[in-house]
Amino acid sequence: MAFHKVFGGAGVALCMMTAPAAWADVSSAQVWEDFKAYMQGFGYSMTATEAQGAGALVVSDITLNMALPDDDGTITFGLPNMTFTDSGDGSVVVTLPAQSQMPFSVDVPDDEDASGAISLSQTGFLMTVSGNPGDLTYDYSAADLTVALAELTVEGEAVEIAAASTTLRNLDGQSTVTVGDLREVVQRMTAGVVEYTIDMTDPEDGEGRIQFDGAANNLGFEGSMSLPLEAIAPDDANAMLEAGFAVRGGYTHQGGQTNFTIDDDGSVVSGTTSSASGRFDVRMDSEQLGYTVGAQAVALNVTTSDLPFPVEMQMAETAVNFQLPVTPGDEPQDFALALTLGDFTMSDMIWGMFDPAGQLPRDPATIKLDLGGTAKLDAPLMDPEAMESAETPGELRSVDIREVLLRIAGAQLTGQGGFTFDNSDTGTFGGMPRPEGSVDLRLEGGNTLLDTLVNMGFVPQEQATGVRMMMGLFAVPGDGDDVLTSTIEINEQGHVLANGQRLR
């Protein structure tokens, strides 16, 4: 929809405008020219008014235009006036107005057009560019910097906005830029706190209301980026990667909280979320695409008009990680997938809904899955046509089950193992490559949990009997009370064995 395209395009523009990697020389005119070349390399066209004075270049009326991917319309937006001042010692000082208004518009055929304005306000923003052409350092700081959505109109209808802003306080950062075959950027940034707030009607239908506000402390960023010098269509991710585009970096914070209220036609959900720390890492290059997201000491408290009591949940740890190969190669490439929901607890009120007598142990629950492996790509991961094709884009070669852990209601299941896959044999297992390998499993407290569920009436006795028969088929008693172990193996003949006994 046009609404998210407004924020996507405008957000990119603000990042480009404030990112110190945008300039690559030490005279005011050269800094401005390189800024224009940098923006044009991302597919933007630019117009501006330039006024050269004594030792300073003032650039105003800056307007960027860009075609959206897949001929999906155009976006136009303005940037704040910029002043480039030659300091006399070979460096350039870049300053911005204390207050700026940046109009934008989005024209999307057969969809919702949008227009509006973004305001930028800052206190004490200062950037100094120093070094030699092709090897520059950008130092910047600000007491505070706020970006806010001041106006928004969708399909001719004004959206009511009480607040929509993000503020960085005590901002400090540095970037180094070297230019050769690629533009290489290494950045670091810290902010004492980032504050955000949203209070507006739902722009999709004009009904309901969304309210968010919160903050994160000690925000930090470190990362690097490689950029092709020549312009490449921004919707052709595969071409950008082949040309050398690469991003690696991550954000961290040391504690944050969000308050929210969502009113959907009288159905109100409100609450708070918090965490003691968190991080977000990303890698995107011609070899790998990957994300890692994690947080510590996460808490959620929600009240809703549909329930007579609050919903309270906590987790000691949450983490998601995945890594995928991107470009076809002659040899198999690594992939990874991991999920952790550690020490999950919930309030006694929620437990009481289905276990009022307290028969189930209420110990913290944990889910952990850690997988790795190798795969061989036959087509680029970023090629939309290849990914939408009915043809399989590659071959799975191996899976390494590093850890499986499920701990809940007094029972615990653990496992590890691994399999390789013969892609030349897709007949033995009905169309999938034939696996070979094994997995070791251990179940503690399973029978006790099953007995409790029967006593609570959740599981009929005849179903429990069937479950016990299945466990007897696949598992053997382990070293302890209520412990079962199992080794599931698939051999090179395609036979499936459980603890040495053939099942298939």
For 302-329, write each residue's pLDDT tens digit.
Answer: 999 888 888 999 999 999 999 999 988 8
Kindly write down the DSSP assignment for every residue of 290-335, as one continuous string.
EEEEEEEEEEEEEEETTSSS-EEEEEEEEEEEEEEE-S--SS-EEE
Radius of gyration of the chain measured on its C-alpha atoms = 28
Q: How far is CA 133 from the centre of its chain?
A: 35
Q: Which two tokens stand for residue 213?
A: 């506000």
Q: How many angstroms separate the CA atoms of 284 and 241, rounded?
A: 8
Q: How many angstroms separate the CA atoms of 304 and 312, rounded?
A: 12
Q: How many angstroms separate the CA atoms of 233 and 41, rounded?
A: 9
pLDDT along the chain (504 residues), means of 10: 42 43 60 77 85 88 83 86 91 94 88 88 94 86 96 85 94 90 92 95 74 96 90 75 92 96 86 97 94 97 87 96 90 95 94 91 96 91 72 88 97 97 92 95 95 93 92 89 95 92 86
What's phi and psi for 55, nearest 5 deg? 75, 5
Nearest alpha carbon to residue 155 among 207, 108, 202: 108
The three-point CA angle 127-130-133 to 5° equals: 125
- Give the torsion through C-alpha atoms of 427, 431, 436, 437, to 10 deg: -150
Q: For the chain, how many residues are written?
A: 504
Give the per-residue pLDDT at 460. Answer: 94
In terms of phi and psi (left: phi > 0; alpha: psi -120 to 50; beta: otherwise), the region of 237 is alpha
Give the per-residue pLDDT at 2. Answer: 42
Look up residue 145 and give its amino acid.
Answer: L
CB 435 within 8 Å of CB 490: yes
Residues 6+ apart with CB under 8 A from 484: 442, 443, 446, 471, 475, 476, 477, 478
CB 115 within 8 Å of CB 104: yes
Give the per-residue pLDDT at 41. Answer: 66
Nearest alpha carbon to residue 67 among 103, 43, 38: 43
Q: What are the C-alpha distances in Å from 196 to residues 14, 256, 265? A: 16, 11, 25
In terms of phi and psi (left: phi > 0; alpha: psi -120 to 50; beta: otherwise), the region of 282 is beta
Residues 6+ apart with CB under 8 A from 70: 235
Strand partners, 274: 257, 299
Long-range CB contacts (within 8 A, 24+) of 71-74: 72/5, 72/108, 72/109, 72/111, 73/2, 73/5, 73/106, 73/107, 73/108, 73/109, 73/111, 74/106, 74/107
pTM of the model: 0.82
Give the per-residue pLDDT at 234. Answer: 65
Give the per-residue pLDDT at 390. Answer: 67
What's phi and psi for 14, nearest 5 deg? -65, -40
Q: Which two tokens stand for residue 232?
A: 């490449």
Q: Which two tokens stand for residue 115?
A: 């227009």
